[in-house]
């Protein structure tokens, strides 16, 4: 049964890919929408300031020209800009700090923990290129531990929108959000899968597809892959739902527990190492309730230093985080557990 299901999936994946190309899915740029939203918030509220760390020439140029007194482009000095943001926040400002995710989280961990979280300051940390976005620059630039690092910090809120439209809807909520907030940006022109009719509130998950036997639980751009994998599984007669969690910390527990009671298998998807990532957060939430729940299959990056260079898609496929491999893993797990 398993071999037949996998063979059928492999034959049909090329058809699905050609359909995707022929329909030309809408794509927008995460980072551009996020930065434009900061400019708009700054127009509405004089407390908003922008701080960048050696970003590209022309970054937020309209804001720099319009309000230079609230635009700061510092050098390669990430620890410094966290302290700078903390000082401004203590003076009543709402700083939005923007730099590459791996530098923002690894290099500045102590400053974020002590300067921001210890004082519960309203600083918004915008991590460009969460996950494997910067894979062309090698492993020093891939942020594959950032969710684990940020979600363990007291007072820290962590969000990872799935597309540019969703970050645009989330940004106005960041203005009055209490305490520090980490925004994990995918940056690239990923397919837009959210829509204005879907509820988009920090702290609340979004059910993008009703579950049957299986429920995918995803965050960031893994939601696109969850939706693609659910389509492949549907061709095999397996109905898989998709719960998109743009907010990783805090997770919405009520929705998750309710859906868990309806399915045979839950599958978490992580553009992150499995240890301490999004899947770990889901398991913690389920186990804390001390009630039975379905098996949970965690799919993510292995806990090892990743070498080599390549595109984000290339690295994700190599790690088994493409839609086809995800659907195969689900079928294997269901056969293994005699759930089919």
Comparing C-alpha atoms, which of 130, 135, 190 is closest to residue 310? 135
Cross-strand bridge partners of residue 269:
299
Continuous segment of H or E residues that includes residue 49: strand 48-53
Cross-strand bridge partners of residue 73:
52
- Give exposure, 122-142, as e/b (b: 16+ Cβ within 10 Å): bbbbbbbbbbbbbbeeebebb
- How many CB atoms are located within 10 Å of the residue 318 CB? 16
Per-residue pLDDT averaged across 327-334, rounded? 95
| Residue 161 DSSP one-character state | -
253-260 and 278-288 helices, crossing angle to 10°: 80
Comparing C-alpha atoms, which of 242, 267, 266 is closest to residue 321? 267
The whole-angstrom separation of Cα 149 and Cα 24 is: 36
Using one digit for the tens of pLDDT, what is the confidence trace for 53-111?
A: 988 788 999 999 999 999 999 988 899 999 999 999 999 999 999 999 999 999 999 99
Domains of the chain: 2-26+195-336 (3.40.50.920), 30-184 (3.40.50.970)
CB 335 within 8 A of CB 308: no
Contacts of 225 (CB under 8 A, 6+ apart): 218, 269, 316, 321, 322, 323, 326
| Residue 217 DSSP one-character state | E
Q: What is the pLDDT of residue 23?
A: 57
Question: Which tokens go with 274?
Answer: 């499995």
The whole-angstrom separation of Cα 163 and Cα 142 is: 19
Using one digit for the tens of pLDDT, what is the confidence trace for 148-170?
A: 999 999 999 999 999 999 999 99
The whole-angstrom separation of Cα 322 and Cα 13 is: 11
**pLDDT classification of 229: cutoffs 50, 70, 90:** very high
Continuous segment of H or E residues that includes residue 126: strand 124-128
For 299, how many CA atoms within 13 A lie in the half-sphere containing its CB?
A: 32
The whole-angstrom separation of Cα 265 and Cα 257 is: 13
The whole-angstrom separation of Cα 288 and Cα 314 is: 36
**pLDDT classification of 24: cutoffs 50, 70, 90:** low
Question: Which tokens go with 180?
Answer: 């520090």
Choose between 20 and 69: higher pLDDT: 69
pTM: 0.90
The whole-angstrom separation of Cα 296 and Cα 280 is: 10
Name the percent of the chain lying above pLDDT 70.
90
CA distance readout (Å), 47 to 30, 89, 115, 277: 24, 9, 19, 33
């Amino acid at each position: 049964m398993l071999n037949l299901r996998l063979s059928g999936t492999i034959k049909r994946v090329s058809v699905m890919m050609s359909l995707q190309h022929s329909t030309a899915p809408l794509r927008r740029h995460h980072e551009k929408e996020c930065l434009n939203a900061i400019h708009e918030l700054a127009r509405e509220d004089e407390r908003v300031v922008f701080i960048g760390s050696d970003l590209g020439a022309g970054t937020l140029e309209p804001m720099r020209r319009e309000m230079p007194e609230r635009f700061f482009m510092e050098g390669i000095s990430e620890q410094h800009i966290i302290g700078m943001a903390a000082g401004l926040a203590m003076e009543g400002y709402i700083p939005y700090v923007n730099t590459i995710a791996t530098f923002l989280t690894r290099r500045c961990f102590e400053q974020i923990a002590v300067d921001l979280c210890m004082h519960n300051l309203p600083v918004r940390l915008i991590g460009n290129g969460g996950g494997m976005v910067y894979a062309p620059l090698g492993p020093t630039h891939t942020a594959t531990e950032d969710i684990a690092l940020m979600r363990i910090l007291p007072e820290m809120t962590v969000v990872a929108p799935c597309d540019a439209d969703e970050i645009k809807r989330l940004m106005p909520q960041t203005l009055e959000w209490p305490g520090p907030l980490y925004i994990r940006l995918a940056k690239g022109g990923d397919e837009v899968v959210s829509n204005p009719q879907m509820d988009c509130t920090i702290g609340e998950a979004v059910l993008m597809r009703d579950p049957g036997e299986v429920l995918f639980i995803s965050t960031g751009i893994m939601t696109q892959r969850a939706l693609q994998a659910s389509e492949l599984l549907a061709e095999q007669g397996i109905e898989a739902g998709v719960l998109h969690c743009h907010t990783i910390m805090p997770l919405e527990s009520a929705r998750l527990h309710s859906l868990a009671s309806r399915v045979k298998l839950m599958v978490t998807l992580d553009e992150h190492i499995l240890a301490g990532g999004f899947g770990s957060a889901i398991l913690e939430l389920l186990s804390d309730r001390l009630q039975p729940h379905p098996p949970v299959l965690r799919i993510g990056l292995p806990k090892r230093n990743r070498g080599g260079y390549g595109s984000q898609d290339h690295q994700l496929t190599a790690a088994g985080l493409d839609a086809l491999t995800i659907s195969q893993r689900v079928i294997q797990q269901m056969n293994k557990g005699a759930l089919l």
